[in-house]
């Protein structure tokens, strides 16, 4: 009996390392097609279109939050908040190059520097009421998405470097850093699975598996089922409160994760259909500038007074933010410190 248990664990470890090898080690990773129209391209219009729609949902959610007194009870707000940031994490994971290679200096410039810059602006402008250095432990006082995404990329970078050197060292380093970053901010551990899921989905695309007829059939059926399930789950979803039928933290975590995955599924179905019928170039441009829009729109929102007409505020804030982004790009130093980008650079 003990021998059988040991063999089962050996088999699980072998399969786990084999999957990781596929994602990490270059010789195990085979791309399908080339950089032409028939092959997979790391940066393509459909992804930017999805990011454009996602950032519009973020701005709409924040417009509702600053316009409606009891915004947590607004059903549109609850739908958006149930999946919009997990969606961005998943899309961020999908953009990570395979085999797994992280340019950590670029990620620091693109993610950490804007987080730091806007944190300093908020602190000296009196927009946050905590010690500046506390934003590293409570990143929700600043642009937390950038900070947490940087920690995730740092975790992936350290895991890759140590795993290539020695598999067991890679596992050990990843475990130590996981608990370290989770101690710094619990948001890290909550959003890491979505980035990993995005990386895995990219692997399915680059390996060609996602193009098989059977996969397309089963995946479409699964997406439809998850979308229908989302309608049920989101009815009980609340940003602060939890459904009364959930009695433990584990069930709450599973419920929120499942709700987010179902929400991402219905988002994909709707957005991919819109893209096929009407691939608006404006939405693609917004997707390319999604990081800049995310970073700047909260400050634009503060310009406008509290008003119940959030659809109008949403349109105005979206337009004004994009115009400000284009104006700020005329100064290369502002472009670097506020958006972490060099001329013609993109996330």
pLDDT tens across 135-162, in order? 888 888 889 999 999 999 999 999 988 9
Higher pLDDT among residues 244 and 123, named by residue: 123
For residue 228, give every residue at least 6 positions away whose Cβ sits within 8 Å of its Cβ, in sequence order, or none: none
pLDDT at 1 (0 to 100): 47
pLDDT at 99: 73
Alpha-carbon distance 66 to 59, whole Å? 11
The reported pLDDT for the residue numbered 115 is: 94
Q: Is residue 312 part of a domain?
A: yes
For residue range 14-65, list pLDDT tens digits in order.
Answer: 555 555 555 554 444 443 333 333 333 444 788 999 999 999 999 999 999 9
Domain membership flag for residue 18: no
Number of domains the chain contains: 1
The answer to whether residue 32 is domain-embedded is no
Average pLDDT rounded to a whole number, residues 74-90: 94
Q: Is 84 a residue whose pLDDT tops 80? A: yes
pLDDT at position 300 is: 93
**Which domain covers residue 164, as residue numbers?**
39-339
Element (DSSP H or E) covering residue 271 = helix 249-277
In a domain, 12, yes or no: no
- CA-CA-CA-CA torsion sign (144, 340, 268, 278): positive
In-domain check, residue 235? yes
CB 313 within 8 A of CB 10: no
Contact between 65 and 71 under an 8 Å Cβ cutoff? The reply is yes
pTM: 0.85
Establish if 24 belongs to a structural domain.
Answer: no
The string of pLDDT tens digits covering residues 206-250 is 776 665 555 566 677 887 888 889 989 999 998 888 887 888 888
Distance CA 238, CA 286 (A): 28
For residue 278, count CB atoms less than 10 angstroms from its CB and return exposed for 0-12, middle for 13-18, buried for 19 or more: exposed
Q: Please determine, for residue 80, whether its predicted confidence score (pLDDT) is greater than 90.
A: yes
- Nearest one of 152, 159, 38, 174 to 89, comparing CA atoms: 152
Kindly state the average pLDDT of the residues 319-342.
90
CA distances from 158 to 16, 146, 152, 185, 192 (A): 18, 18, 10, 18, 15
Backbone conformation region of residue 154, classed left if phi is above 0, alpha if psi is from -120 to 50, else beta: alpha
Tell me the torsion sign for CA atoms 40, 208, 291, 120: negative
Q: Distance between CA atoms of 165 and 53, rounded to whole angstroms?
A: 40
In a domain, 346, yes or no: no
Residue range 90-100: average pLDDT? 86
- Asked if residue 275 belongs to a domain, the reply is yes
pLDDT at 76: 93
Cβ neighbours, 10 Å, residue 11: 10
């Amino acid at each position: 009996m003990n021998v059988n248990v040991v063999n089962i664990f050996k088999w699980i470890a072998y399969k786990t390392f084999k999957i990781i090898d596929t994602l990490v080690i270059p010789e195990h990773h085979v791309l399908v097609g080339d950089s032409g129209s028939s092959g997979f391209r790391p940066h393509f219009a459909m992804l930017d279109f999805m990011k454009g729609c996602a950032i519009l949902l973020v701005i709409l959610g924040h417009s509702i939050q600053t316009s409606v007194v009891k915004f947590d009870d607004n059903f549109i707000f609850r739908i958006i908040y149930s999946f919009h940031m997990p969606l961005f994490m998943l899309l961020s994971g999908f953009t990570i190059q395979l085999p797994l290679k992280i340019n950590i200096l670029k990620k620091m410039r693109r993610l950490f520097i804007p987080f730091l810059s806007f944190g300093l602006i908020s602190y000296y402008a009196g927009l946050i009421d905590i010690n500046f250095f506390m934003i590293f432990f409570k990143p929700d006082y600043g642009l937390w998405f950038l900070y947490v995404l940087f920690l995730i990329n740092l975790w992936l970078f350290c895991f890759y470097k140590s795993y290539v050197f020695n598999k067991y060292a890679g596992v050990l380093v990843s475990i130590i850093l996981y608990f370290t970053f989770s101690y710094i901010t619990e948001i890290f551990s909550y959003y890491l699975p979505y980035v990993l899921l995005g990386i895995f989905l990219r692997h399915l695309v680059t390996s060609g598996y996602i193009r098989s007829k059977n996969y397309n059939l089963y995946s479409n059926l699964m997406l439809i089922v998850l979308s229908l399930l989302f309608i049920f789950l989101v009815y009980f979803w609340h940003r602060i409160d939890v459904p009364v039928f959930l009695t433990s933290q584990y069930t709450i975590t599973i419920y929120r994760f499942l709700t987010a995955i179902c929400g991402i599924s219905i988002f994909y179905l709707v957005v991919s259909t819109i893209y096929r019928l009407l691939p608006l170039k404006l939405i693609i441009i917004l997707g390319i500038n999604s990081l800049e829009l995310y970073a700047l729109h909260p400050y634009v929102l503060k310009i406008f007074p509290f008003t119940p007409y959030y659809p109008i505020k949403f349109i105005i804030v979206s337009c004004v933010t994009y115009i400000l982004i284009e104006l700020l790009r005329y100064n290369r130093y502002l472009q670097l410190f506020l958006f972490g980008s060099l001329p013609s650079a993109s996330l």
